[in-house]
Amino acid sequence: MCGFPTATDTVTPRQPRGQERVITANRQTSWAFADAYVAEDDALRWARERAREAGLRSVSPGTGAVLRLLAASVDAKAVAEIGTGCGVSGIHLLHGMRPDGVLTTVDPEPDHQQYARQAFRDAGFAANRARFIPGHALDVLPRLADAGYDLVFCDGDRLEYQDYLAESLRLLRPGGLVAFEGVFANGRTVDSGPQPTEVLRLRELVRTVRDSQELVSSLLPVGDGLLCAVKR
């Protein structure tokens, strides 16, 4: 279980390493407040609505705010995104990137990318700020340049996250960031009961990133869990 707490953990006044405190109403309220900290504009709301209509997951506002912060913290000029969706995460990333930065975004559904194009345009980004590549991520990523990216954001097939990690390490420059969305799997990652293959793969990913000598990592409790790591 890679050190995750579960619902059966007991809480003592002095917490053992790897053990979580009781989740109180106050903490839940604080998390809800943090998730709504960055107000979203009309373009983001439009993209969220298109995603809902298409049955797609979108990053939470709090996760989007972190993506902006991460992009800004590395002064990102080149970002690769796995999973365009309808453009919610892309807008947040573009807001954090340099004014001359380019987002390369990959998705197997061209129709979804058309919504993202519209959302980016409505958000005020020029057409040359984003490069849309339709296709399966593991077919597209090997064609991208080694050490050519400041940040890689992974929000695609959870079963392929380990493969995305390997590609990200190749794509990132030293000091670059990789982030994985949805690693909590709606709480199943920390649940001690039997879990599907997707959750087992997510646990393996978290262990791999945590134990890697190439990465400095943190698991952030925003949205459905954001696993972040800096390449040394």
pLDDT single digits (tens) 169-201: 999 999 999 999 999 999 999 888 899 999 999
**What would the DSSP string read from start to end of 176-192?**
EEEEEE-TTGGGGGG--
Measured CA to CA in angstroms, residue 105 lies from 124, 184, 202, 231 at distances of 18, 23, 22, 21
pLDDT at site 35:
82
What angle separates helix 42-54 from helix 110-122, to the nearest 10 degrees?
Answer: 160
**In the structure, what pLDDT confidence band is assigned to residue 11 with cuts at 50, 70 and 90?**
very low
Where b means 16+ CB within 10 Å and e means fewer, 5-14 reads beeebeeeee
pLDDT digits (tens, 9 = 90+) for 95-113: 999 999 999 999 999 999 9
pLDDT digits (tens, 9 = 90+) for 70-96: 999 999 999 999 999 999 999 999 999
Mean pLDDT of the chain: 91
In the three-class reduction of DSSP (H, G, I as helix; E, B as strand; rest coil), residue 95 is classed as helix
* pLDDT of 142 strictly over 50: yes
**8 Å CB contact between 85 and 157:** no
